[in-house]
Structure 1
Amino acid sequence: MNHFLKPALVVGSMMLGLAACVQPVNSDLTGTPEVYIPPVKPSFDPVKQNEAPPKPGAKEKFTQKEDLAGQKAVPMDILFVVDTSQSMCSDQASLAKNINRFVEGFLKNDKIDFHIGVTVTWDSKLYGTANRKYKNGELRPVYGQGSNVRFVTPKTKDLANTLSKTLYVGFEAYDPKNPATTGPETEELFSPVMAALSDEMLSGVNAGFRRPEAHLAIVMVTDTEDATPDMIDPSKTMKAAVLAADLKSKVRGEATVTVLAALARLDEMVQFQKGQNPGLTSFNKAFPNGSLSRCADYSVDPAIVPALKGPEQIAELVRLMKGSAFDLRTKDFGGQMAGLGRTLINKAMNFKIVLKKVPDVSEPITVKMNGKVLPKGDLKGWTYLPDTNQIILNEGLNLGELEQFQVEIDFTVLN
């Protein structure tokens, strides 16, 4: 046989063998082949229907880290109201000398975008018809900055010294034709605040000072009680509650309002109110050893001496606005001013952190600041707000004194 035909015969034989192995597919009358459909596997195993469901896995632990150093600076507007009566001689000097202690915390911390303006007391009876250079509530020009600059900011050069000289307003003659007259006789501190924050002033000479979204702080420095006439009945003195309500309307959003003060006879008044002067039933009665008439020892506004009064309405305003005050004649004026500054910084730097997951409040939540565990619910710790899922770093933490703001929050995630 021809050798070239052998491969062909072999291939032919293989093809016949394969054909013999293939089974014919049954067809219906139309010639369509049948389709094989495998049985459907049940979605459950009947054998396991009576077994208990599996136990859930371990709860998820979550750590959230935040660097607050990159947060935007918090705005705060601070208004000083300074008494310009003659009896404030040494007190104005103390204020000017120690204002550096007040601003030292602000200068060290770039997280506060502050505006600081200065206005002075008013006397409606004397100044109502007088030709005044400055109107009630008008911010005084910043020293060395020209007449158009009315408040200092973090960009003000030589800020502490500039503010010191701006605050030292001296004693103003209420009648330019009679320079011998020195300052108000019936000092008003509430009306200058309302005037300074009025639409008229804020759209005029005080423009740019007040920012509605900024925290607002009022600092009163006086040796007497407020004598602002009541808006309804001028024969009555305006009550602290009226000004408190007005101030609260001046802020919006999460901004706060605070009132601070340096007041004459504050310590004595507080001692009396606490009952630390036995036998006295009325504040109008004399204190033992004449402790409320020590005018020979230091200067106090004459108006509150014969009446044996203290700064009751101003102290009440401070209380209503959750602020703080100190006695004008304290031996540590600088330290007290530094304390007022820290109070404002702590209020402004009340950081809020939105959590990325919802914590299970039945499990512990740990908050650390720069590696230190903070107490829950404490003034110097933190608070959790479930409605907004936020951690609040409370104002007592003295955040203004920190250079780093590394926060770490550990919690169990709510299933």
Structure 2
Amino acid sequence: MRVVVLGAMLTLAVGCLDGGTGLRDVGPVLKVTPDPIVFPGQTQAAGATRQVVLRNEGSARLVLLETPLLQASTGEFTWDGRLVPIDCRTGVERPGLASDRIDPGECLALEIAYRPVDTGPDEGSLLLHTNDRSSPKLQVPVRGDGVVPALTVCLPAGPCAEARRCARPGEAFEVTFPDLDLESDQRCALEVHNDGPGALASLEANVDGEEASSFELLPAAVPTRLEAGASIPLTVRFHPRVGGTNRALLRIGSDDPRGELLLDLFGRGDAPRLCPDPSHVDFGEVVVGEAAEASLTLRSCGLRPVAVEAWAMRDGNGVRESDAFSLETASHTPPFTLAPGEEAELVLSFVASRYGTVLGRFMVQSNDPAQRQMGVPLRAEAAFPPGCRLEPAAWTVSYGVVAPNETAERTVVLANVGDAPCTGLVAEIAGGEGRFRISQWPVDHFPFQMDPGDALSFRVAYHSDGRPDADVARLRLTGDIEAPVEVELVAWPDLSSGCHISIPTPIAEANPRSSCTDGTLLSRRQGTFGGVAVGATKVKRYEIHNVGPSACFIQRVRVQTDHATSPSERPYSLASPADRVLVDGIATSILPAGAVGTVEVRYRPGLAEPSCGLLEIVTDDGTEASECSDGTPGCRTIGLFGIGLDGEVLPAPEELDFGAVQVGCASTEATVSLYRSGVEPVQITALRVVPAGAFVFTSRPPLPAQLDPGAMMTLGLRYAPTGVGLDTATLEIETDPVVGVTPVMLYGQAVGSAARTEVYANGRSAAVDVLLVIDNSGSMSDDIARLQGSADRFMRRALELGLDFRVGLVTTDMFTAGQQGRLQSFPSGARWLDRTDPTPPATLSAALGSLPPGVGTERGIAAFMAALSEPLASTDNAGFRRPGAPLHIIVVSDEEDQSIETVDEAIEFLNNLPPDGTTLHAVVGPMACGTGEEARRMRYEALASATGGGIYDLCTDFGAVADALSEGIFGALGGYPLSQPAVAGSIRVYVDGQEVPAGAGAWSYDAAENRIVFDAGATPPPGATVVIEYDAACL
């Protein structure tokens, strides 16, 4: 037994006569409620609190002399030291009243907490010294009883048990469900009991495991507290998601000291299932130039035979054919069928041709309803062979501008990064006709040797003879090495002018998520990749403008990674050549005056976490301070930020730029679509903007909201700035099962004025490429006839505007020779339709009518990916795509896509097509209009939403659909979109510096589309500079 004493000193006021009535005043009278203070049956985890009320039932004030004192040696009973004035009748706190005295009829309250250390009784007392003459020293007993709860779960006799069974924590327990097809379900009722004398607290139940989605708890949440002797029902619903064995673990946790109660859930789905063994094939480390093999077993693990229809070896994105992985041997050849338990044995091969991590996927198509397209991940590490390996610190060394008869020197550093000595080495200058020479040697004898880890510095001088062109030579090392190592040396003449680099990338104070960097990789420019699935790749292009009067020399282009985030991973790399920019698709170190170069950066996250990087571009532009941490002259940087996602909730778009919005006004609504590309539903549990403020939701679903496989959810947002400056935030989407936070980057520029200026420095391209992907299966015959009848309406705007169009046709048939992504011929034999045709609408109609018949397995995604990829892009379809021309893909189908490729892989493919991605439009519907069949074809719709394309109903008036497509694709090229809605009377338009008045034969403002539209005869020519000034409407 333990004793605790709580004391308080109360003053004793002297009684007096009551107001001359002759009645004697009773003085203060203290009433304590409850008395005694009892805590029956409490557990250590739960504990309890009791409010104790001190009431003055006398007629004189009760005053406290000193702060109450708590004496406790073990801490079961505690008090926070607060005395709170309350309303005696309602118990509501009364702010403003004193807490050191109690007037007649008033109350003070305190709270005592009890948390037992172990089982058994505990005792204490609340000692109160008051001026109550009948009990000046009132001692109120405090008692508690520490107990433990006892969790028990029982399964009554029924469909899941022949007889009633019960289990407690630590005891084995399995719930076995009957075999079910994938359309059925079975419910098993459980009873959760508290057989102990104390209340169960922290009660929770959840299902865990690889097939957890096959089991559902009803209700989804249990009460967190279960009193002693009480019980609650809990039902487990089994709805198999996959064929064969479905296993999960039901975890029931509480404060029962024996721990968690675990129930094995077991059921089987009566359906085919294909199981790979191993689930991931790792070839390990393979030396470049060598090969390795690995075994893969495909087992029929369902209750019904599995039919393997096709397989293919793809790259890490599952898009293109792999050039590193191949199938060596297989015990079966598709198509084939495996009986339950039967296996197909395969041997896969990997050939290491380049250094680094190589990823691939072995794609298998089968009748497994849970994963008709299964991708087995493949991984190998290609390593350099043992030996010496020379690498320079930079492959190109620039001397910059050197005046005639002047001499400049640079240091060239080479290192042996291999694991064996490099012997017999000789260094020399190749080219330059003597203007370049080694002025300082790091060695004094030849040939020389470099051991592993050695680095040598060569000092190379250049003397200018005034030549007008760039001077180029090479420092070459030869010896007992596989191939000579050459470092390019470049010097420029003094042309009394200079280059000036401009990088039009969003500028902010720091990266959007600075938590992933130690500060060394921060740049004032932001290059965000958004969320990218782990193992997938996204490429972004950054433009480098030379706005100076002379050419710029590109000295260095490199990417750095925030190693503190992922020590073993390098998620960022150059997709374009190192130390070069792309000008018109050609890699060069020279950026002419007025030219635009492009640098491509690849992001492939290896971990589900944020990562930062830095793109460094060094030129001979010395007009601005260096942005590199080491102070390298002429350095410009772009900060890189991305998040690796270990899930399949895809946002489209991945970033939103609301443009310039006046403070106090708001932007138009922008939408973000969320697409579920996985095979199981997820719950969207949280949607938030971080930091909160300028970006607000205009529409979002109640949460939690379920997102089924193939389904989409749309969110609306608006930008309403409160202060001038650049605003950045992140829309974060959280899901359950947890697959990480899916981010969408948000940008907005808050300005103080309504005045806007839109500049189209190079006019608008009059060229556009259109690829029609037509479902030519038997059910589409009537729809194709309607397409033919609308060809004239589709081509109308292209002809009115005099556009340089190309229209190509492919089918969704990926099985029949002559189709499979190949452009179908037009009546003239041409592979595409263009403006040289005398009657484009009639020619398009005829081509649609002559399409060959196709199979009923529609693979539109595979078709356009094959059409735009190698080898078709440079063979059968060569010449169709034109550099700089926007590409629109129109898919017309009455069936869901059945391609092996996943939606996220297709989105990545489209986003990486030059120039800056592609727009896909979906014209989809049911196999027979008017039948009431659900018309949505989610894979095509997801692609359209992700790329900003339109979604149209195949069953509506196709003439109206053709009009909308014509206007959206061709008509948009005749207009100039504005970033914000305009006040109509404020708009002024200038073409090459000359104002063009509004009106017939010139231009007009299309308020519905928020763009300036020129009439056919007034369209500015390509290359013209169009400036539009206007006042933005305040929304």
TM-score range, shorter chain: 0.5 to 0.7
Match of 1:342 in 2: 967
Rounded to whole Å, the distance in 2 between the matches of 1:213 and 1:251 is 8
Counterpart residue identity of residue 154, structure 1: R
Correspondence for 1:74 among 766, 769, 773: 766
Give the corresponding residue for 1:134.
818
In structure 2, the residue matched to 1:360 is: none
**Pairs within 5 Å for 1:205-244:** 205-230=876-901, 238-239=902-903, 241-244=904-907
Instruction: Tell me, yes or no, if the aligned pair for 1:122 and 1:191 is still in contact at 8 Å.
Output: no
Match of 1:186 among 834, 851, 857: 857
Q: Is the contact between residue 67 and residue 405 of structure 1 (CA under 8 Å) also seen in structure 2?
A: no
**Of 835, 842, 847, the match for 1:166:** 847
Written as runs of structure 1 = structure 2, the 5 A alignment for 1:88-107 is 88-107=780-799
Q: Secondary structure at the match of 1:403?
A: helix
Query: 1:345 deviation in Å?
Result: 2.1
Q: Distance in 2 between matches of 1:295 and 1:351?
A: 40
Q: 2:921 is matched by which residue type in structure 1?
A: L
* Counterpart among 249, 258, 264 of residue 919 in structure 2: 258
Aligned partner of 1:334: which letter?
G
**3-state DSSP of counterpart to 2:805:** strand
SS in structure 2 at match of 1:184: coil
Question: How far, CA to CA, are the matches of 2:1028 and 2:922 in structure 1?
Answer: 37
> Is the contact between residue 977 and residue 1010 of structure 2 (CA under 8 Å) also seen in structure 1?
no
Query: How many angstroms apart in 1 are the aligned matches of 2:807 and 2:847?
Result: 10
Q: CA deviation at 1:76?
A: 1.1
1:230-280: CA deviations, max 9, x gaps?
A: 3xxxxxxx22x221210121112xx55211121104xxxxxxxxxxxxxxx
2:813 equivalent among 111, 122, 128: 122
Q: Distance in 1 between matches of 2:1014 and 2:861?
A: 30
SS at 1:338's partner residue? helix
Q: Following the alignment from structure 1 to structure 2, what is the Cα–Cα distance between the partners of residues 161 and 247?
A: 30
Shift of 1:410: 6.0
Instruction: Give 3-state SS (helix, strand or coil) of 2:966's partner.
Output: helix
TM-score (norm 2): 0.23
Shift in CA distance, 166/372, structure 1 to aligned 2, threshold 3 Å: same
Q: 2:800 maps to which residue? A: 108
Question: 2:837 matched to which residue of 1?
Answer: 156
Q: Does 1:318 align with 2:944?
A: yes
Of 185, 190, 195, which aligns to 2:866? 195
Structure 2 equivalent of residue 271 of structure 1: none
Partners of 2:942 and 2:977 in 1: CA distance: 30
1:283-326: CA deviation from partner (whole Å, max 9, x where unpaired): xxxxxxxxxxx95846x9xxxx6xx6730111111100111121
- C-alpha change, 1:211 and 1:223, in structure 2 (3 Å) is same
The one of the two structures with greater contact order (alpha-carbon pairs below 8 A, sep at least 6) is 1
Compute the displacement of 1:229 (Å): 1.0
Name the SS of the counterpart of 2:790 in structure 1: helix
RMSD over aligned Cα, in angstroms?
A: 3.8
Moved over 6 A (4+): none
1:93 and 1:115, CA in 2 relative to 1: closer, same or farther beyond 3 A?
same
Kindly indicate whether the alpha-carbon contact (under 8 Å) linking 2:929 and 2:955 is maintained by their aligned counterparts in 1. Answer: no
Which amino acid is the alignment partner of residue 136 of structure 1?
A: Q
| CA apart distance, 1:404 | 2.0
Q: CA, structure 1 residues 321+401, in 2 after alignment: closer, same or farther (shift >3 Å)?
A: farther
- Supply the distance in 2 between the matched residues of 1:317 and 1:396 (Cα, whole angstroms): 25
Per-residue CA deviations over 1:166-211 (Å, capped at 9, x if unaligned) read 1224552xxxxxxxxxx32221100000010013112112111001
Q: Aligned partners of 1:395, 1:113: CA distance in 2, in Å?
A: 23
Per the alignment, in what secondary structure is the counterpart of residue 117 of structure 1? strand
Structure 1 pair 228/371, CA: closer, same or farther in 2 (3 Å)? same
Decide whether the 8 Å contact of 1:367 with 1:409 is kept in 2: yes
SS at match of 1:139: coil
Q: Summarize the Cα distance change of 1:309–1:327 in structure 2 as closer, same or farther, 3 Å threshold.
A: closer
2:743 corresponds in structure 1 to none
3-state SS of paired residue (1:199): coil
1: CA distance between counterparts of 2:779 and 2:1012? 36
Q: Match of 2:997, as an amino acid?
A: G
Q: Kindly indicate whether the alpha-carbon contact (under 8 Å) linking 1:262 and 1:328 is maintained by their aligned counterparts in 2.
A: yes
Q: State the partner residue of 1:55.
A: none
Q: 1:171 to 1:409 in 2, by over 3 A?
A: closer
Identity %, equivalent residues = 25
Asked if 1:87 is matched to 2:779, the reply is yes
* Corresponding position: 1:245 with 2:908: yes
- Alignment partners' CA distance in 1, 2:925 and 2:1029: 49
Q: Could you say if the C-alpha distance between residues 371 and 296 of structure 1 is closer, same or farther in structure 2, counting changes exceeding 3 Å? A: closer
Read off the aligned partner of 1:263 and give its amino acid letter: V
Query: Aligned equivalents of 1:72 and 1:296: distance in 2?
Result: 40
Distance 1:83 1:163, change over 3 A: same
User: After the TM superposition, which residues 28-47 of structure 1 pair with which residues of structure 2 at under 5 Å, given as runs?
Assistant: none
Is structure 2 residue 981 aligned with structure 1 residue 367? no
Secondary structure of the residue aligned to 1:250 is coil
- Does structure 1 conserve the Cα–Cα contact (< 8 Å) formed by 2:924 and 2:952? yes
Q: Which deviations, in whole Å up to 9, do the C-alpha atoms of 1:387-407 show, x marking residues without a partner? A: xxxxxxx97437375432487
Q: Which residue of 2 aligns with 1:21?
A: none
Partner AA of 1:186 in structure 2:
T
How far the C-alpha of 1:368 sits from its partner, in A, is 3.8
CA distance in 2, matches of 1:328, 1:366: 39
In structure 2, what is the Cα distance between the partners aligned to 1:398 and 1:311?
A: 34
SS at match of 1:136: coil
AA of the residue aligned to 1:196: A
Amino acid at match of 1:337: A
| Distance (Å, rounded) in 1 between the aligned partners of 2:884 and 2:760 | 23
**How many residues align structurally?**
255
**Take 2:954 and 2:1015, find their aligned partners in 1: how far apart are those partners?**
26
Cα–Cα, structure 1 residues 195 and 335, in superposed 2: closer, same or farther, change >3 Å?
same
Map of 2:1018 onto structure 1: 404
Give yes or no for contact 2:791–2:841 (8 Å, CA) kept in 1.
Answer: yes
Question: Where does the alignment leave 5 or more consecutive residues of structure 1 unmatched?
Answer: 1-63, 173-182, 231-237, 266-293, 354-363, 374-378, 382-393
More strand as a share of residues: 2
- 1:88–1:326 CA distance, 2 compared to 1 (3 A): same
Distance 2:1029 2:768 in 1: 32
Per-residue displacement from partner, 1:17-41 (whole Å, max 9, x unpaired)? xxxxxxxxxxxxxxxxxxxxxxxxx
Please give the secondary structure, in 2, of the residue aligned with 1:326: strand
The 3 A distance-change label for structure 1 pair 205 and 401 is farther
Q: 1:115–1:152: 8 Å Cα contact kept in structure 2?
A: yes
Report the TM-score when normalising by structure 1: 0.54
